[in-house]
Amino acid sequence: MTAPRWEVVVLVLVLVLASMGWCVSRTQGGGGSTPFPWDKVRLPRHVVPLHYHLLIHPNLTTFTFTGTVAIDIAVTQPTKAVVLHSKRLRITRAAIEAGARSTCTVRDVRVLQHPALEQLALLAAEPLCAGHNYTVSIQYSANLSDSFSGFYKSTYRTQEGELRVLASTHFEPTSARMAFPCFDEPAFKARFSIKIRREPNHLALSNMPLVKSMNIASGLVEDHFDTSVKMSTYLVAFIVSDFKSISKVTSHGVKISIYTVPEKIDQAHYALDAAVKLLDFYEDYFSIPYPLPKQDLAAIPDFQSGAMENWGLTTYRESALLYDPEKSSASSRLWITMIIAHELAHQWFGNLVTMEWWNDLWLNEGFAKFMELLSVNVTHPELGVEDYFLRRCFDAMEVDALNSSHPVSTPVEDPAQILEMFDEVSYEKGSCILNMLRDFLTADVFKAGLVQYLQKYSYQNTKNEDLWDSLTNICPTVGTENSELQGDGFCRRNQQSSSNTHWTKESLDVKAMMDTWTLQKGFPLVTVTVRGRNVHLQQEHYKKGVDSLSPTENGYLWHIPLTYITSRSHTVERFLMRTKTDVIILPEEAEWVKFNVDMNGYYIVHYEDDGWDRLINLLRENHTMISSNDRASLINNIFQLVRIKKLPISKAFDLTLYMKRETQIMPILQGMNELVPIYKLMERRDMDDTEKQLKDYIVSLFKDLIDKQLWSDEGSVSERMLRQSLLTFACVRRYQPCVDKAEEYFSKWQKSNGTLRLPADVKTAVYVVGAQTSEGWDFLLSKYQHHSFSVDKDKIASALSLTRNKDKLQWLMDEGLRGDIIKTQDFPYILVSVARNPSGHHLAWTFLRENWEKLVKKFELGSPSIAGMVTGVTNQYSTRPQLAQVKEFFSSLEEKSAQLRCIQQAIETIEDNIQWMDRYFEEIKTWLQKNHS
């Protein structure tokens, strides 16, 4: 959301006023009706938690838990009310006691609840005294949550088919309040001392190491964990399960353990080694020791997101942590390494230094996403992680080009708005603008600034500007021959360090520059016009959609760190553009100029006059003259320019012709990413002839490369990932040589009853082809349920969702929501896969509409899962009746649902698709007839 939606704020106030009449005392015998003493979403600031003493006892038979929390608080101004968070907790007793040296005693305490605000108030008869400490004690009980947040129930089946239950937590952003009454906002940092009661056959884990276990009455064990460092409530974690573990100690002396269900413990070794390497890397890079004695990584059988960074006890989806060297693909190894890198980066960025409020979530997530690239590059160079960073920036731009996008830093208030911040803008765009800043400042200056930021704000909360301040007055200690600290405290590069360091002329103000990237939505389009040696530049806000050329856009201006190379020089030149227009003078005229080198900047470029023709010519004649990232960015940019009518579609298609000779993963995947959605739009309109011609054209572009692929697991990670993408693509498009080979593999595999070892990187293609027959589909489903295929579940699910049999597709969605055979955590993925299937898109849309209430209950309003389903099911619609249906359904929902940002995104995307098809369909048809007979 692009600012607090006033309708939502009004709605919250209405709820507050309406509820005041019925938030009455629940315990301590107070009769009558007392208004709730607080009416805001955010808690008052005059009561601050210092230390939580939490005892929690889950019952894994009745799926309930009881708890007692004693919170030491400091009171900074006189108040009769202590207001804190509580959600779905049954409060049985509450008291406030004065601290040891306090003369202010507290007698009567009344408890008021405000479900709409998820708040609880303890009302004292006399005011609590300012400057005194108190202890708030609350006893409560609750049900284990059956969603994926709070203290929730998870299950798995053993190899023998026995159902086992465990309980685990997921609190980010606002669900700690579902497990214990607390001050559930990131700025209320406190220490936690946790005790857990459990059955003797279970194991309890929490953020800190176990100090002692005591046998207590009724055959229970009580585990006492060490007191934590100061931290936010959303990072508290505990698990009660029958997990097994393996451990190692890092070179800095931190014990790392991987926990998983007992029979998958042999898949934990890769993650353990990766975590050891990565934690060591971060301790060295940040120059701050990891502050806890241990770091556990736990694979949870039911988990909504990819992973969670709880301090000292990070939790993961099984597929994000477990790796089988015999069966897992190269893409799975890359994904697991990146996720571990992400969660461990958070131990500093997020846990040690935390954003003050959720409007700056990107300070946590953009950083962790960016640090994946940095850390994996050093610790696992064989993964070639830099090949995939670009994809992320293109994905972010896809969302950021819509009017419904939002600035990286955006005001948010209520829990649904906060959840909506967990999107491409906070994560992907956040990481891309940090990558741009690092490229601009140099790696050394950037690193020195980060270290300064982390050291200065350890155990505290920060805002955007705190980071910019830390990055502004910095001179690196290494490589200083090109830098000098000026009298004004600014570090600048010497004139000689680059031939065109435009920003040496005045002090570099990182805040002024970065505010243009974090406080306004969208990104710039830079138009380049070459006249001899003069290069004229102009910037504007790139926007898709109906009002993309609206006159109100004049206010948008970015400080753009431009980079460029020319046909005459491959030295990267730099120029900071701070105005609407500017001019660069080249030392000599050039055949071509390429801006945004390696796409390190978060902007796109349009080359006026014959600029594009020169670059298309370069690709045709000698594409390896520029890097594969530069080629991928040209493919992306030209199609984005078509969207806003800057270029004809035929020009973009002309550029793709060179791809017959392309062999690198980034440009190939980018080419597919631009071309495949075009025929997907045609599929939804039943335009058979042109659609078939376009499919054939795409296959013909990559045919030579597809034919060269080995059906094995040989080669580098990037070659293996390219193989997986190309063969899956070819088999899904029914390219006959691929289908024949896959059918042969599938029938041998089926005959062996699944015991034949298939190469990991070709499995998806083989499964997709096998799933096209009814008996093949049934066989795959039987293997999906078998424990020995646990690492292949995602690939099998993908194949199952590509059948043309509508009954089977319907069964998949029903089963995914029920959560027995297919876990509900995988349902969003299944629904979107069915929606992408030409035989399934009507079914998926109907399913989403009919089960909306159930989905919101399970996945939470505003969550990335809900957003992914809404946009994933609708993003290939391109007709006015489809648009009308989507608008009608979503406007019929209650206000909070109808206001979701993902719904605005879905509607804008369909409108954009309609315009696109109306404008370009005939032109594509003509181009294909001329260029691809």
Binding-site residue positions for Zn(2+)? 342, 346, 365
Tokens of 24: 């009455």
CA proximity to 278, closest of 323, 345, 330, 348: 345
Q: How far is CA 423 from CA 430, 560, 866, in A?
A: 10, 24, 11
Helix segments in 421-500, DSSP class H? 430-441, 443-456, 464-472
Which of 864, 42, 902 is CA-nearest to residue 428? 864
597 and 565 Cβ atoms separated by less than 8 Å: yes
Amino acid sitting at position 44: P
Q: Using CA atoms, how far apart are residues 581 and 786, in angstroms rounded to an integer?
A: 62
Q: What is the Cα–Cα distance from 302 to 155, expressed in whole angstroms?
A: 7
- Beta strand 483-485 with 133-143 is unpaired
Q: Enter the tokens of residue 714.
A: 């040989």
Phi-psi region of 30 (alpha: psi -120 to 50; beta: other; left: phi over 0): beta
Q: Which residue has the tokens 């690709």?
A: 619
Using alpha carbons, list the distances in angstroms from residue 256 to 186, 292, 380, 385, 875: 26, 11, 18, 24, 42
**Is the Cα torsion angle 592, 598, 600, 606 positive or negative in sign?**
positive
Residues taking part in catalysis: 343
Confirm if 137 and 70 have CB atoms less than 8 A apart: yes
Strand ranges, E, within 579-625: 581-585, 593-595, 604-607
Distance CA(904)–CA(891), nearest Å, equals 11
DSSP label at residue 227: P
φ, ψ for residue 195 (rounded to 5)? Answer: -125, 140
Find the length of the chain.
933
User: Measuring CA to CA, which residue among 688, 760, 701 is closest to residue 729?
Assistant: 701
Q: Are 184 and 174 in contact (CB under 8 A)?
A: yes
DSSP summary character for residue 216:
E
Query: Which residues belong to the annotated binding site?
Result: 342, 346, 365
What is the rounded distance in angstroms from the CA atom of residue 449 to the CA atom of residue 453?
Answer: 6
d(CA 6, CA 14) in angstroms, rounded, equals 12
Distance CA 238, CA 208 (A): 10
Sign of torsion, CA 402 408 413 418?
Answer: positive
Q: Is 77 helix (H, G, I), strand (E, B) or coil?
A: coil
Phi, psi (5° rounding) for residue 864? -60, -30
Strand partners, 564: 573, 595
Q: Where are the alpha helices (DSSP H) in 73-174?
A: none
Amino acid found at 900 = L
Residue the block writes with tokens 């929490």: 206
Contact 646, 676 (CB under 8 A): no
Is it true that the peptide bond before 78 is cis, omega within 30 degrees of 0? no
Residue 386: DSSP 8-state: G
Helix (H) or strand (E) holding 770: helix 763-770
Tell me the C-alpha distance between 837 and 736, whole Å. 19
Cβ atoms within 10 Å of 605's Cβ, excluding its own? 26
C-alpha 190/C-alpha 207 separation (Å) is 14
Of 327, 351, 302, 320, residue with least CA distance to 258: 320
Strands of 632-682, DSSP E: none
